Amino acid sequence: MNPTVQISLDLTNIDEALETASMAKRAGVDWLEAGTPLILAEGLHGVRRLHEAFPDTPIVADLKTMDGGYLEAEMMARAGATHVVVMARAHEETIKCVVEAGRDFGVKVMGDNLGCPDMVAGAERLEALGCDYVIHHIGYDQRRGLAAQGRRKPSPMDQLQEVVDAVEVPVQAVGGLSLEQAVRCPALGAPLVVLGAPLTIDAEAFKTAEGDLEDSLRLICEKVHGYGTGEADRQSPGHPG
């Protein structure tokens, strides 16, 4: 899989999501994610609006499915999603149902190992049950809760190499990555780079981050897309030239 940039639209308003998506596409982002907050706020309507506005762009519906797998995947596929997300901690029948729906409706299935006691084993389970991608994910609440206790925040980078080595499907690292960590992911064998909080989304307000986000995204996209071509070595994000 070629290095790919996905933006997580973890917003609560479809108009803001569409505006941010337009900016991201101008900057070179490849995939759009209807984040869980957006799906909670706007439901199928939000996914449908994204698909209508960007019909040729892959759209990930981050449902975090735990049950009712076939129906949820079918509904999102009919609304225009190209990828759906199921959790590793769901029952294996749920994961199988999502995979079956993916095949029936032409959408790819991303399996998320959030909360697994053994993150590597969770990734292996997802691949074995037919998921097309693995999301190696350290959760929002986990990161914030441990930080509030004065403890080190875990990072998906901690075990990313182990997860990549354990599966054959493409891997995505999610969970509070810094800019430098995000652009390193392809070099570690995780070609699908997701940009969300805190890089593009304010993690406190669930609003689009302030500042010159478009230029920052453009530099990140150039860095990720240039991986393996030599271009990635000539320009560092935030330090053009």
- The CATH number of the domain holding residue 124 is 3.20.20.70
Q: Is residue 35 part of a domain?
A: yes
Q: Residue 52, Cβ neighbours under 10 Å: how many?
A: 11
Q: Is residue 240 part of a domain?
A: no
Q: What is the mean pLDDT of residues 105-129?
A: 98
So what's the pLDDT on residue 134? 98
So what's the pLDDT on residue 196? 78
Q: Answer yes or no: is pLDDT of 188 > 50.
A: yes
Q: Answer yes or no: is pLDDT of 59 > 60.
A: yes
Q: What is d(CA 19, CA 17) in angstroms, rounded to the nearest whole number?
A: 5
Q: Is residue 59 part of a domain?
A: yes
Q: Which residues of 194-206 are buried (b: 16+ CB within 10 A; e: fewer)?
A: bbbbebbbebeeb
* C-beta of residue 206 within 8 angstroms of C-beta of residue 11: yes
Give how many domains the chain has, as a whole number.
Answer: 1
Q: Is residue 239 part of a domain?
A: no
Residue 205 CA from chain centroid, whole number: 19
Q: pLDDT by residue (tens digit) across 124-166?
A: 999 999 999 999 999 888 877 887 898 888 899 999 999 999 9
Of 156 and 209, the structure prediction assigns the larger pLDDT to 156
Structure tokens at 143: 């990161």
Q: Answer yes or no: is pLDDT of 241 > 60.
A: no
Structure tokens at 220: 């990140």
Q: Answer yes or no: is pLDDT of 236 > 60.
A: no
* C-beta of residue 160 within 8 angstroms of C-beta of residue 199: no
Range of the domain at 199: 4-234
Q: Is residue 105 part of a domain?
A: yes
Q: Is residue 27 part of a domain?
A: yes
Q: What is the mean pLDDT of residues 76-89?
A: 98
Name the strand (E) or helix (H) holding 207: strand 207-208
So what's the pLDDT on residue 229? 61
Q: Is residue 171 part of a domain?
A: yes
Q: Is residue 241 part of a domain?
A: no
Q: Answer yes or no: is pLDDT of 7 > 60.
A: yes
Name the strand (E) or helix (H) holding 230: none
